[in-house]
């Protein structure tokens, strides 16, 4: 009875404990209760990821199982030097460095790597900072001193356009790097790292970095193995007129749409790309307002007068548009429901671009880095290539329409060479094209943070962009109509502010909500191109915004309200056969198109479910890079308290020992209970058996 009483007592104790826990309303553990007790998952982080090109790898990755190290603070150069000089690699206590943002440079990262004691970097939030980069300048740019030189017009040039560049983009970083966006997370990691350093005892606060990239080697190997997707997306191009008239001369004005950064989610490109995008959009808006004014003269709405030349505008992702102009062949043309012509084999979102002929281009103008004009003496510099023809006449037009608000000066007189630009791809196809690049710099970039995370809202000036937009609008009017621009042709500086806000820092801005609906994307917006996949179109959110802004201001409905169509919630709700797009809830005639920005020479092989090279990766005689991004799981950074390695081993051994002893006790207990409480036959069964036996004996 004693043993049974003990069992019943234990049972009653468990019941009481269970009832007590159930009655405690404040204790409501969820499915991740234990996980959350152990780990602090940092969600507001941006990871450096790996990219591949045709010759190798760049960027960051972690081992497949992640990297774990105890937190260690480095917030000053003195702390870095002390760590570098005195820290020795101990595989049982590797370090996860909590690094101040102003120390994130190639020299320090290389120095940390040399200690062989670092498994990852948690980069603290910081304001823009920099390092001495020649001629009294201070800045930080992970791009090359001559970006894309190897694949441009002048692969042997000795000129440095980007003096603050350190070419970090083209290197493979030795460990994962995560950028913290939250000041609260940064303060928390610093506090924990300083606690580790002060106490110098176990357990220690530690961090686990997971950013494993499945692809390796180079793009060709990775694509063949099926672990990579090409970097690409969508370009945007269009006109005020429906389609391109192949019999008229063209004024083609352009800006780069995508940007880059070590942290692709922080590829803001405020000065590098957004200033050019905003300049062109604002100029187009000013021209649209002028068309509206001309259409409404006398109180009667009439279509604008057909211009002498056709204006075509382009916002390019990558450098593939010219290659498609020259080499793209469509095997199967289809007509979409909204009247647009597409190519089904190979797939191309729009096929009307083939009407653009390089031989009909009257002027080719690229807008780049226009957000830092000198405040006292605003000056736009005009860059030309020595082989280009007709650029002197274009320069004369720019000078004539500049007025008193801005100066126009030729860069490198006489003509020297073009800076890195989308114009390179056009001139590689035809070196005599009349091409100009308009920028705020002369011989070197004014932007000290080119393609870095600090090329943000604070690195661009609204008044500078508005001034440039006015110059561009007047220039385009004169080139297209062959007459002097009217006095009332002026840019809207409020629009400049709103566009920069939407492109660089605010995914939930009013313009995006109005034109795109509810935007479920994190801030800040990124200019990273994204991935080009065979089974779905990849639209960067800024490309979508540019497309809808152009649809809004270039449609006839902008200047002729009588042409407004019924409300809509999608383009499929609009009338068929009229190139209709649903913009801000209204069907509008559209002359704006997406263009698939797929890398050169790639085709999707459906039989093998992989990308293959249909042609060599060359533009003219110049080799082109093949950029790809490996597949990867969502990068994660989590913090937890970790014991010393030997303690972890002993804990595991002790746990296994306890488990083994428990199994032994259970086995003995079961054997004992089976022996003590073995089933005994009942008396009736025994009597029946005895009677049967007696009868059989008789």
CATH number at residue 454: 3.40.630
| Cross-strand partners of 408 | 380
Residue 503: name the closest of 202, 272, 173 by CA: 272
**For residue 28, what pLDDT is reported?**
56
Q: Is 697 inside a domain boundary?
A: no
Which of the residue ranges 256-270, 562-576, 620-634 would you say has the lowest mean pLDDT?
562-576
Within 10 angstroms of residue 567's Cβ, the number of other Cβ atoms is 11
pLDDT at 7: 45
Q: Please check the confidence at residue 21 and state whether its pLDDT lies above 60.
A: no
Q: Are residues 620 and 641 in the same domain?
A: no
Residues 6+ apart with CB under 8 A from 107: none
Q: Which of 300-314, 435-449, 505-519 bottoms out in mean pLDDT, i.e. has the lowest?
A: 300-314
Q: Do 248 and 371 fall into the same domain?
A: yes
Q: Are 172 and 106 in contact (CB under 8 A)?
A: no
Q: Which pLDDT value is given to residue 621?
A: 52
Q: For 94-103, what is the mean pLDDT? A: 93
- From 75-79, 371-375, 437-441, 609-613, the region with the lowest mean pLDDT: 609-613
- When the pLDDT of each residue in the chain is averaged and rounded to a whole number, the result is 84
Model confidence at 119: pLDDT above 90: yes
**Residues 76 and 161 both lie in one domain:** yes
**Does 284 share its domain with 157?**
no
Assess if residue 5 is contained within a domain: no
Q: Are residues 575 and 561 in contact, defined by beta-carbon separation less than 8 angstroms?
A: no
More confident residue, 106 or 472: 472
In the chain, what is the straight-line distance between the N-terminal and C-terminal CA atoms, in Å? 44
* Domain identity same for 301 and 193: no
Longest dimension (CA), the chain: 138
C-alpha angle 557/558/560, rounded to 5°?
A: 55
> With helix as H, strand as E and coil as C, how does 650-669 read?
HHHHHHHHHHHHHHHHHHHH
Residue 1 covered by a domain: no
3-state secondary structure of 210: strand
Please, are residues 245 and 355 in contact by the beta-carbon 8 Å criterion? yes
Is there a single domain that holds both residue 295 and residue 359? yes
Q: What average pLDDT does range 398-405 have in this prediction?
A: 91
In a domain, 481, yes or no: yes
The pair of structure tokens assigned to 3 is: 């043993």
Q: Is residue 19 part of a domain?
A: no
Q: What pLDDT does 470 receive?
A: 97
Whole-number pLDDT of residue 105 = 87
Q: Which two tokens stand for residue 630?
A: 């490996």
pTM over 0.95: no
Q: Is the pLDDT of residue 26 over 50?
A: no
Residues 323 and 382 in one domain: yes
Are residues 164 and 195 both part of a single domain?
A: yes
Answer yes or no: do 606 and 462 share one domain: no
- Pair (307, 374) in one structural domain: yes
- The domain of 460 spans 232-555+590-598
* 84: Cβ contacts below 8 Å, ≥ 6 apart: 111, 112, 114, 115
Q: Is residue 667 part of a domain?
A: no
Asked whether residue 290 falls in the same domain as residue 147, the answer is no
Percent of the chain with pLDDT over 70: 85
The number of angstroms, rounded, from the C-alpha of 543 to the middle of its chain's C-alpha atoms is: 12
Q: What is the mean pLDDT of residues 29-54?
A: 84
* Adjacent-strand bridge partners of 332: 345
pLDDT in tens, 620-647: 555 677 888 998 888 999 999 988 777 7
* Domain-located, residue 665: no
Q: How many domains does the chain have?
A: 3
Same-domain pairing of 356 and 368: yes
Poorest-confidence range of 312-321, 376-385, 562-571, 679-688? 679-688
> Is residue 408 one of the residues assigned to a domain?
yes
Q: What is the pLDDT of residues 468-517, one digit of tens each?
A: 999 999 999 999 999 999 998 999 999 999 999 999 999 889 999 888 88
What pLDDT, on the 0 to 100 scale, is given for residue 9? Answer: 47
Token couple for 459: 């690195």
- pLDDT grade for 690, boundaries at 50, 70 and 90: very low
pLDDT at 472: 98
pLDDT at 25: 46
- Tell me the CATH number at 133: 3.50.30
């Amino acid at each position: 009875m004693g043993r049974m009483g003990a069992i019943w007592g234990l049972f009653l104790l468990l019941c009481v404990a269970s009832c007590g826990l159930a009655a405690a309303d404040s204790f409501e553990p969820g499915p991740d209760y234990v996980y959350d007790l152990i780990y602090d998952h940092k969600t507001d982080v941006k990871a450096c990821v790996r990219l591949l090109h045709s010759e190798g790898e760049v960027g960051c990755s972690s081992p497949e199982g992640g990297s774990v190290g105890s937190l260690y603070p480095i917030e000053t150069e003195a702390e870095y030097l002390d760590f570098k000089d005195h820290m020795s690699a101990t595989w049982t206590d590797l370090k996860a460095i909590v690094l101040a943002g102003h120390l994130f440079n190639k020299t320090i990262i290389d120095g940390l790597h040399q200690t062989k004691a670092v498994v990852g970097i948690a980069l603290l939030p910081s304001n823009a900072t920099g390092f001495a980069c020649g001629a009294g300048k201070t800045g930080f740019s992970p791009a090359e001193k001559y970006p894309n030189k190897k694949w441009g017009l002048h692969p042997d040039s000795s000129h440095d356009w980007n003096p603050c560049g350190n070419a970090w983009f083209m290197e493979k970083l030795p460990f994962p790097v995560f950028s913290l966006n939250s000041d609260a997370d940064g303060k928390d990691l610093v506090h924990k790292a300083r606690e580790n350093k002060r106490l110098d005892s176990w357990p220690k606060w530690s961090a686990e970095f997971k950013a494993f990239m499945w692809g390796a080697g180079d793009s060709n190997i990775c694509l063949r193995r099926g672990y990579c997707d090409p970097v690409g997306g969508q370009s945007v191009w269009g006109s005020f007129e429906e389609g391109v008239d192949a019999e008229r001369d063209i004024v083609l004005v352009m800006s780069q749409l995508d940007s880059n950064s070590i942290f692709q989610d922080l590829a803001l490109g405020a000065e590098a790309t957004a200033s050019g995008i905003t300049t062109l959009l604002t100029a187009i808006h000013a021209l649209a307002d002028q068309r509206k004014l001309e259409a409404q003269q006398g109180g009667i709405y009439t279509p604008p007068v057909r211009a002498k030349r056709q204006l075509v505008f382009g916002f390019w992702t990558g450098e593939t548009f010219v290659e498609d102009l020259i080499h793209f062949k469509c095997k199967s043309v289809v007509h979409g429901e909204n009247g647009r012509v597409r190519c089904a084999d190979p797939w191309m979102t729009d096929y009307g671009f083939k009407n653009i002929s390089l031989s009909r281009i009257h002027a080719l103008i690229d807008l780049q880095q226009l957000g830092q004009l000198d405040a006292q003496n605003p000056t736009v510099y005009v860059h030309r290539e020595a082989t280009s023809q007709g650029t002197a006449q274009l320069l004369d037009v720019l000078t004539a329409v500049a007025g008193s608000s801005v100066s126009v000066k030729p860069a490198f007189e006489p003509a020297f060479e073009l800076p890195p630009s989308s114009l390179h791809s056009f001139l590689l196809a035809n070196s005599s094209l009349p091409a100009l690049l308009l920028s705020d710099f002369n011989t070197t970039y004014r932007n000290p943070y080119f393609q870095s995370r600090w090329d943000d809202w604070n690195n661009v000036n609204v008044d500078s962009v508005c001034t440039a937009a006015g110059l561009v609008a007047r220039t385009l009017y004169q080139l297209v109509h062959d007459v002097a621009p009217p006095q009332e042709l002026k840019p809207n500086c409020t629009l400049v502010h709103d566009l920069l806000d939407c492109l660089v820092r605010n995914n939930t801005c009013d313009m995006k909500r109005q034109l795109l609906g509810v935007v479920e994307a994190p801030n800040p917006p990124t200019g990273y191109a994204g991935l080009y996949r065979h089974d779905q179109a990849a639209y960067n959110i800024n490309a979508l915004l540019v497309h809808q802004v152009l649809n809004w201001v270039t449609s006839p409905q902008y200047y002729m309200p009588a042409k407004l169509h019924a409300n809509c919630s999608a383009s499929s709700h609009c009338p068929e056969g009229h190139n209709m797009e649903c913009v801000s809830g209204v069907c509008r005639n559209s002359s704006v198109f997406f263009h698939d920005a797929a890398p050169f020479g790639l085709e999707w092989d459906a039989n093998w479910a992989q990308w293959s090279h249909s042609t060599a990766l060359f533009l003219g005689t110049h080799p082109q890079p093949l950029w790809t991004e490996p597949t990867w799981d969502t990068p994660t950074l989590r913090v937890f308290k970790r014991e010393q390695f030997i303690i972890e081993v002993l804990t595991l051994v002790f746990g296994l020992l306890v488990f083994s002893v428990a199994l032994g006790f259970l086995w003995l207990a079961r054997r004992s209970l089976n022996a003590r409480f073995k089933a005994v036959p009942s008396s009736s069964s025994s009597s029946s058996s005895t009677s049967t036996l007696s009868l059989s004996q008789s």
